[in-house]
């Protein structure tokens, strides 16, 4: 308890007098994390009504999820869309970030802003706009249409991550490589890319998550056979509280956490 | 020896940024196998000229020829020149050997032949056997040597160096200067070296091009640049000097009541600047007599600073002009009267009496 | 200047290089122009068309005249302002706490902020639904513990909407605020203390102003996101809290009224753009890119 009376800051405020700060901080952190985590044990409850802690444990909601053709189809669609989005958006965005970084064009910032607008424009507007365009182009309820729209949403995210990595990268190395005989492309490929690969992988993961978790555009544009997981979940939420969603949520939380923690750790290794 | 080097011909190279000339119609002929230093203060254009040679800076116009072949539009990766950067720019994700092998790999040299050439290159910079090490395990000097090995391994006939030693400490720097010079003599390639350190330039070069404001101020051997600077900028930039305003007529420079015979038997007439280098001035003893190869003048000693191997005397001439005299400390004991206020007899050889035009242009 | 040798060839080589670099940007640009700029632009056009295809401003005029629209705007602004305010009040202490921790501990605690950010929005919304509903966890526990006797309506109203929205928006406030706070040179605080300022005074006169850019950025992001927020208010509001985005969605899904929906969307976009512009002018940000990349 001696620690309590120790000064916490240069201005000699003790920990004791700041206890309220620590309490608030901890409470807020709990507020942030707990709701999502609570879903996990609840998904194992045997009863129709979600309860915590579950009185009886069971896998029934997981079974319901895995045995439902509709849910499985939706999951497959979401996974496919996510992977395709990551595969397309990552190279597009990386090229764009690299091109803008090395260009001596005066108005580079304007192009940056244009490419970031999908993050600023209200998603609902994008959703109905894309829907309208797709009706005309007959791309509604197609995987292609969905992936195109998701790529548009993912590109700004990847550009920010890769752009930030390029900012702290020493471009002299590419110049050296070129002086040693490497063509501009080979110099990028053999020298720059290996050193920004963490950012590129990070960006790809975020692109995947952007697509996988995307709701609004999917709501309008994916349907029928190509309905996404998020669309089905959203509709289910509006109707009734289906416990299967708890199981799905748990799986989503686990996958997301694993992906994010992995990228964080790889990042630590590289920066050490 | 096979043709290990190429001459470089630079003609009317110009680069403008906005309204300032980074390079102003530069003409320069570099001989095959020569070690030429581009010397100047920061912003003088020396680095820009080097990057033009490398191909990273595209000039607004002009011609760059390597051995007679026009190169100015050729992209950097096709120029086949070796380059060493100020911050080494070694690839951190590759080992030392992989770094050095990089240019060989691009040129299709692999396997055993590549390994041998890499090892030979490393041995030439005294890092034989360091191949497997990671870049982060090397000291600054070692990194610089790996960068050198990497630039040499493909036997370029032209080598460009951009202040490669400026990040090293003094002792290491002086040691590397000698090593670089020895390597140059051994391999014989044409070397263009950029530095702002005049001592480094004097030590290493066959010729020095002093640059300022994007123009070459003087191109000459180190000795000629030091002893016969063409203008005030060059005189000031290299070595220490004091400038005395004089009136020159019929080859005699007049200052106060002193006449200086100059080397130039030219027809200049009017105001000019006399350059005096501290270590070329002698303090005469009362009994010394000079022959006609010396100019004599006098002044009042202001103070004396003992600086170890040499001592610096500050002497006041007429018109309150202060001139510095550098004397080997061992000679201090030969003079009896070196107190503040003493009247000193000073002499400078006619050979060392250099007169520059008042504006700082060429004589 | 008179013609320099090779000047033309050099200029041509320069242009080719520029085209290559711009070419790298083209795929991303094309995608975004085709899938976003054009469709949204088309919506602007649609907002000026009536059912019969004639030019009209009726959709915009209706917004002004019909009271239901006013209610929608009011609800939207209420939610946005209250959410931003609550986030500021509870987020500032947490951000401050994190900024005082040593780097490693801070990174660890950051997971608490980043995890909800990247966990699916639906999962988070669902979690709150489960917690707040009549037979949900909070009501059950409260009744068990004797806090209240009848289940309270915690969801399908403004309260539930606010709780869910605050939970979603909080990380967006904390991240830029934290970055701003971390960047403050602690020497400023020491100097203030040395000059005689009490801890309270040091905080308000030195720390708070220096952290202001991060705070303002975070508040702006939260406010703008709230304006256009759809999912959480739609689910947790239960149809009682109708925000602009819900209205737009209903106009399309139920009424197929493209004109009305587009007009509303345009208004939302203009409000967003206006807010950003005002923000940039106030904080005198000339290069918005530096701000974005920082957070």
Phi/psi for B321 (5° steps) reads -80, 130
> From C8, which residue of chain B is nearest by alpha-carbon distance?
B61
User: Please, which pLDDT band fits residue B362 given cuts at 50, 70 and 90?
Assistant: very low
Beta carbons of A176 and B85 less than 8 Å apart: yes
Shortest distance between the Cα of A155 and any Cα of chain B, in A, equals 28
Mean pLDDT of all residues in A54-59: 82
Beta carbons of C5 and B12 less than 8 Å apart: yes
Task: Name chain A contacts of C249, Cβ cutoff 8 Å.
Answer: 124, 127-128, 219
Asked if A128 is an interface residue toward chain C (Cβ–Cβ < 8 A), one would say: yes
User: Please, which pLDDT band fits residue A152 given cuts at 50, 70 and 90?
Assistant: very high
Q: Residue B266 has what pLDDT?
A: 67
Q: State pLDDT tens for residues A2-35.
A: 666 777 766 667 777 788 888 999 999 999 998 8
Most confident range (mean pLDDT) of A14-18, B286-290, B325-329, C187-191 is B325-329
Please name the fold of domain A70-271: MetI-like fold (1.10.3720)
Count of A–B CB contacts within 8 Å?
60
**What CA–CA distance (Å, rounded) separates B165 from B85?**
9
Q: Residue B193 has what pLDDT?
A: 96
What is the token pair recorded at C220?
A: 């702006």
Q: Residue A55 has what pLDDT?
A: 78
Q: What number is the ipTM of this complex?
A: 0.84
Beta carbons of B70 and C6 less than 8 Å apart: yes
Q: State pLDDT tens for residues B82-134.
A: 999 888 889 999 999 999 999 999 999 989 999 999 999 999 998 988 989 99
Spans of all domains in chain A: 2-61, 70-271
User: Please, which pLDDT band fits residue B333 given cuts at 50, 70 and 90?
Assistant: confident
> From A272, which residue of chain B is nearest by alpha-carbon distance?
B136
Shortest distance between the Cα of C62 and any Cα of chain A, in A, equals 19
Task: Name chain B contacts of A183, Cβ cutoff 8 Å.
Answer: 77
From chain B residues 41-80, the ones with a CB under 8 A of any chain C CB are: 58-63, 70, 72-73
Beta carbons of C7 and B60 less than 8 Å apart: yes
Task: Name chain C contacts of B70, Cβ cutoff 8 Å.
Answer: 6
From chain B residues 282-301, the ones with a CB under 8 A of any chain C CB are: none
Task: Name chain B contacts of A190, Cβ cutoff 8 Å.
Answer: 102
Shortest distance between the Cα of C5 and any Cα of chain A, in A, equals 24
Chains with 3 or more CB pairs closer than 8 angstroms to B? A, C
Q: Provide the 3-class DSSP secondary structure of residue B243.
A: strand
Task: Name chain C contacts of A178, Cβ cutoff 8 Å.
Answer: none
Task: Name chain C contacts of A233, Cβ cutoff 8 Å.
Answer: 122, 126
Instruction: Find out whether the peptide bond into C188 is cis, omega within 30 degrees of 0.
Output: no
Q: Provide the 3-class DSSP secondary structure of residue B355.
A: strand
Mean pLDDT of all residues in B140-156: 92
User: Please, which pLDDT band fits residue A265 given cuts at 50, 70 and 90?
Assistant: confident
Mean pLDDT of all residues in B313-328: 91
> From A195, which residue of chain B is nearest by alpha-carbon distance?
B93
pTM of the model: 0.83
Q: What percent of chain A has pLDDT above 90?
A: 44
What is the token pair recorded at C239?
A: 């149809």
Ranges of chain C whose pLDDT falls below 50: 1, 291, 293-295
Of the listed ranges A2-6, A223-227, B5-9, C226-230, the least confidently predicted one is A2-6
* Sequential DSSP letters for B132-201: T-BGGGS-HHHHHHHHHHHHHTT--SEEEEESTTTTS-HHHHHHHHHHHHHHHHHH--EEEEEES-HHHH
> From C203, which residue of chain A is nearest by alpha-carbon distance?
A11
Which among C93, C128, C135 is the nearest to A24, CB-wise?
C93
Q: State pLDDT tens for residues B11-34.
A: 999 999 988 999 999 999 999 999
What is the token pair recorded at A58?
A: 């069971």
Spans of all domains in chain C: 68-294
> Which of C123, C160, C174, C203 is most worth mutating to test chain A (most A CB atoms within 10 A of its CB)?
C123
Beta carbons of C93 and A130 less than 8 Å apart: no
Q: What percent of chain B has pLDDT above 70?
A: 96
Beta carbons of B60 and C9 less than 8 Å apart: no
Sorted by where each starts, the structural domains of chain B and their CATH numbers stand as: 8-233 (3.40.50.300), 240-357 (2.40.50.140)
Chains with 3 or more CB pairs closer than 8 angstroms to A? B, C
**What CA–CA distance (Å, rounded) separates A248 from A236?**
12
Phi/psi for B137 (5° steps) reads -90, 5
> From A173, which residue of chain B is nearest by alpha-carbon distance?
B89
Which among C39, C116, C248 is the nearest to A132, CB-wise?
C39
Asked if B81 is an interface residue toward chain A (Cβ–Cβ < 8 A), one would say: yes
Please name the fold of domain C68-294: MetI-like fold (1.10.3720)
Task: Name chain A contacts of B75, Cβ cutoff 8 Å.
Answer: 178, 184
User: Please, which pLDDT band fits residue B204 given cuts at 50, 70 and 90?
Assistant: very high
Q: At what angle do helices A108-120 and C7-32 cross, to 10 degrees?
A: 0
Q: Residue A47 has what pLDDT?
A: 76
Beta carbons of A195 and B92 less than 8 Å apart: yes
Which among A178, A180, A186 is the nearest to B150, CB-wise?
A180
| Chain C residues near any Cβ of chain B (below 8 Å) | 1, 3-7, 9-10, 13-14
* Sequential DSSP letters for A141-189: T-HHHHHHHHHHHHHHHHHHHHHHHHHTS-THHHHHHHHTT--HHHHII
CB–CB of B312/B325 below 8 Å? yes
> Which of C26, C35, C99 is most worth mutating to test chain A (most A CB atoms within 10 A of its CB)?
C35
Q: In Å, how far are B350, C181, C193, C202 from A12, measured between CA atoms?
A: 74, 19, 9, 12
- Return the closest-CA partner of residue C22 out of A94, A106, A100: A100
Asked if A140 is an interface residue toward chain C (Cβ–Cβ < 8 A), one would say: no
Q: Residue A272 has what pLDDT?
A: 42
Beta carbons of A175 and B150 less than 8 Å apart: no
Q: Residue B201 has what pLDDT?
A: 94
Q: Has residue B361 got a pLDDT over 60?
A: no
The residue to which tokens 């290559």 are assigned: C20
Shortest distance between the Cα of A92 and any Cα of chain C, in A, equals 5
């Amino acid at each position: 308890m001696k620690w309590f009376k120790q000064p916490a800051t240069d201005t000699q405020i003790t920990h004791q007098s700041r206890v309220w700060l620590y309490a608030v901080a901890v409470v807020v952190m709990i507020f942030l994390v707990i709701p999502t985590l609570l879903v996990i044990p609840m998904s194992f409850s045997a009863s129709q009504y979600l309860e915590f802690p579950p009185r009886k444990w069971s896998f029934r909601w997981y079974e319901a999820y895995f045995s439902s053709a509709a849910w499985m189809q939706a999951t497959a669609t979401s996974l496919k869309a996510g992977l395709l989005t990551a595969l397309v958006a990552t190279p597009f965005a990386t090229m764009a970030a690299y091109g803008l970084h090395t260009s001596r064009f005066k108005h580079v910032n304007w192009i940056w802003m244009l490419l970031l607008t999908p993050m600023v424009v209200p998603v609902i507007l994008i959703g109905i706009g894309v829907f309208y365009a797709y009706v005309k182009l007959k791309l509604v309820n197609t995987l292609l249409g969905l992936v195109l729209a998701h790529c548009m949403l993912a590109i700004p995210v990847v550009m920010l991550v890769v752009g930030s990595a390029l900012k702290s990268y020493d471009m002299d190395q590419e110049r050296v490589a070129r002086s040693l005989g490497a063509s501009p492309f080979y110099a990028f490929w053999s020298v720059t890319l290996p050193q920004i690969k963490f950012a590129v992988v990070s960006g790809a993961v975020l692109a995947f998550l952007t697509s996988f978790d995307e709701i609004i555009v999917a709501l309008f544009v994916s349907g029928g056979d190509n309905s996404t997981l998020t669309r089905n979940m959203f509709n289910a939420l509006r109707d009734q509280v289906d416990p299967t969603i708890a199981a799905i949520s748990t799986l989503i939380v686990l996958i997301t956490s694993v992906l994010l923690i992995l990228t964080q750790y790889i990042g630590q290794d590289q920066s050490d | 020896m096979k043709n290990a080097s190429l001459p470089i011909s630079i003609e009317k190279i110009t680069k403008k940024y906005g309204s300032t000339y980074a390079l102003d119609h530069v003409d320069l002929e570099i001989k095959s196998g020569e070690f030429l230093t581009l010397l100047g203060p920061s912003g003088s254009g020396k680095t820009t000229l080097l990057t033009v040679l490398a191909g990273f800076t595209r000039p607004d116009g002009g011609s760059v020829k390597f051995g007679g072949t026009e190169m100015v539009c050729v992209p950097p990766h096709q120029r086949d020149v070796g380059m060493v950067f100020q911050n080494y720019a070694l690839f951190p994700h590759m080992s030392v050997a992989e770094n050095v092998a990089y240019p060989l790999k691009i040129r299709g040299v692999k396997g055993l032949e590549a390994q041998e050439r890499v090892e030979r290159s490393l041995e030439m910079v005294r890092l034989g056997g360091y191949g497997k090490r990671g870049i982060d395990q090397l000291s600054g000097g070692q990194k610089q040597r790996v960068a050198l090995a990497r630039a040499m391994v493909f036997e370029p006939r032209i080598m460009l160096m951009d202040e490669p030693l400026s990040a090293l400490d003094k002792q290491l720097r002086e040691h590397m200067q000698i090593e670089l010079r020895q390597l140059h003599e051994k391999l014989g390639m044409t070397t263009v070296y950029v530095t702002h350190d005049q001592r480094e330039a004097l030590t290493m070069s066959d010729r020095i091009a002093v640059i300022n404001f994007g123009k070459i101020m003087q191109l000459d051997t180190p000795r000629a640049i030091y002893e016969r600077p063409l203008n005030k900028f060059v005189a000031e930039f290299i070595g220490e000097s004091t400038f005395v305003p004089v009136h020159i007529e019929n080859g005699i420079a007049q200052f106060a009541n002193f006449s200086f015979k100059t080397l130039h038997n030219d027809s200049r007439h009017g105001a000019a600047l006399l350059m005096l280098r501290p270590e070329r001035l002698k303090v005469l003893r009362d009994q010394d007599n000079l022959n006609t190869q010396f100019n004599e003048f006098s002044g009042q000693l202001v103070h004396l600073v003992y600086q170890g191997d040499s001592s610096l005397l500050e002497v006041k001439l007429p018109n309150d002009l202060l001139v510095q005299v550098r004397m080997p400390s061992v000679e201090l004991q030969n003079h009896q009267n070196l107190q503040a206020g003493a009247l000193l007899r000073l002499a400078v050889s006619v050979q060392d009496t250099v007169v520059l035009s008042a504006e700082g242009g060429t004589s | 200047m008179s013609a320099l040798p090779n000047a033309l060839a050099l200029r041509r080589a320069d242009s080719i290089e520029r085209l290559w670099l711009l070419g790298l940007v083209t795929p991303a640009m094309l995608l975004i122009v085709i899938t976003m700029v054009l469709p949204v632009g088309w919506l602007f056009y649609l907002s000026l068309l009536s059912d019969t295809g004639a030019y009209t401003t009726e959709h915009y005029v209706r917004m002004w005249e019909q009271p239901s629209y006013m209610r929608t705007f009011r609800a939207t602004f209420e939610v946005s302002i209250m959410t931003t305010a609550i986030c500021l009040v509870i987020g500032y202490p947490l951000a401050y706490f994190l900024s005082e921790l040593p780097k490693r501990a801070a990174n660890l605690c950051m997971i608490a902020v980043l995890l909800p950010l990247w966990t699916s929005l639906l999962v988070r919304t669902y979690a709150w639904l489960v917690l707040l509903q009549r037979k949900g966890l909070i009501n059950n526990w409260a009744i068990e513990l004797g806090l209240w006797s009848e289940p309270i309506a915690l969801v399908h109203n403004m309260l539930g909407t606010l709780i869910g929205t605050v939970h979603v928006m909080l990380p967006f406030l904390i991240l830029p605020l934290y970055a701003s706070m971390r960047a403050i040179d602690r020497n400023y605080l020491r100097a203030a203390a040395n000059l005689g300022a009490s801890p309270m005074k040091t905080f308000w006169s030195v720390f708070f102003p220096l952290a202001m850019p991060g705070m303002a950025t975070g508040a702006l992001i939260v406010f703008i996101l709230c304006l256009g927020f759809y999912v959480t208010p739609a689910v947790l509001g239960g149809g009682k809290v109708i925000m602009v985005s819900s209205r737009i969605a209903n106009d399309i899904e139920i009424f197929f009224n493209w004109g009305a929906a587009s007009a509303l969307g345009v208004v939302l976009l203009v409000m967003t753009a206006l807010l950003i512009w005002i923000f940039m002018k106030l904080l005198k940000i000339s290069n918005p890119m530096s701000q974005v990349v920082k957070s």
